[in-house]
Structure 1
């Protein structure tokens, strides 16, 4: 599964066992990304603390949108799928999210959200090419200097967290791929996800494909 040897859940002890239990949470499986941190379990705890501090500076919806934009720009299928699943149901329908990913003019986003997503993509793609005008656009949408820093830090953070699992071969969990084909096409922007066994075993229960 990964390019490095990892510790299986049934062999985990001490800090690794605690790490696995925390990252599994209420799910009935251990996320694939958790395994790549098994050699530095205390580092993951520190990373989680930083993430919570960053997430606390903006609304859950904007946090997820900024991270989705940065993940896609970083070619992270794993993080793109994860944040798409977070946004669906809580903030958007699948069809609404598809409009967002298409950059459709009918996408249900505020001007601030659109600008923040565009800027997050720039941070993840090549931050050295960002200019004063890019930041001025965010200010024109009403973001303060502190809020612009928050968007920048969130996008940069996502680049780090997206690239560690990607570089070590962790694939997005199969459960994240139970989406319409049109959405998956726009979310699988890098490494392939685990095979969607649910779709293969239950073809009659697949969700209807969205138009386009």
Structure 2
């Protein structure tokens, strides 16, 4: 559990109140990790602005696939669960369960698999990456702008996931996730040594 002293919802004002309200509108409650990050509301909003800039030419499906792959490689229960829910905006649950369990055998296109492998590689051993990695994306038809945006999206997930892990933020389980999808999202994390135990949160 994070040691950070957070602001209760009833006492939030200004930027913190806006951040809390965004969570309420999206999830029906303010996530514990949102309260932790809102200790520095300017940084939180700057991150949101960065994601907006990265995804302005990227569809939701692509962004969420990249995010789920990076979060899996990082062993991030926080981001796997949060973005598992968000991914339902663009991917039906049956397909998403298969992707979450093993995206290599989920019927994805070769380009999508290559993109997710790239996000995993960036998240586990970026120092060993070479132009061979980016050329592989180009061979699958991605433009230079798309390659950069894929890289930025995966790198941004590293920033957020590692921040939440470092401050020991409590993991909220969105109640809108079905038990089947929740299990599919969390089970692969075992191979990466994820230790965070989710706390169920009622909406």
Relative to the length of structure 2, the TM-score reads 0.85
Residue matched to 1:5: 5
Indicate the SS of the match to 1:25. Answer: helix
Question: Which residue is 1:39 aligned to?
Answer: 39
Q: Give the C-alpha shift of residue 18 in structure 1.
A: 2.4
Mapped pair 1:191 → 2:196: yes
Structure 1 equivalent of residue 132 of structure 2: 133
TM-score by length of 1: 0.82
The structure with higher relative contact order (CA 8 Å, sep 6+) is 2
Tell me if structure 2 keeps the 8 A contact 1:71–1:79. yes
* Aligned-pair CA distance for 1:187: 5.3
In the alignment, the residues of structure 1 paired with residue 90 and residue 126 of structure 2 have an alpha-carbon distance, to the nearest angstrom, of 30
Cross-structure match for 1:163: 162
Q: Which residue of 2 aligns with 1:82?
A: 82
Structure 2: distance between partners of 1:104 and 1:16: 37
Structure 1 residues 60 and 171, CA, compared in 2 at 3 Å: closer, same or farther?
A: same
Unaligned runs of 5+ in 2: none
Residues 55 and 194 (structure 1), Cα distance of their counterparts in 2 relative to 1, 3 Å cut = same
Q: Give a deviation string over 1:21-74, Cα, whole Å, max 9, x none.
A: 233224321012211123211221221111111111311101100011011111
Q: Give distance in 2, aligned partners of 1:52 and 1:79.
A: 17
- The 3 A distance-change label for structure 1 pair 25 and 114 is same
Change in 2 beyond 3 A, CA 1:178/1:106: closer
Gaps of 5+ in 1: 199-212
Higher Rg of the two aligned structures: 1
Q: Over aligned residue pairs, what C-alpha RMSD do you find?
A: 2.4
CA distance, structure 2, for counterparts of residue 66 and residue 105 of structure 1? 13
Q: How many residues align?
A: 197
Asked whether the 8 Å contact 1:81–1:187 carries over to 2, the reply is no
> Aligned with 2:102: secondary structure?
coil
> What are the Cα deviations for residues 89-135 of structure 1, in whole angstroms up to 9, with x where unaligned?
631333x3333234365412111110000000011112111122222
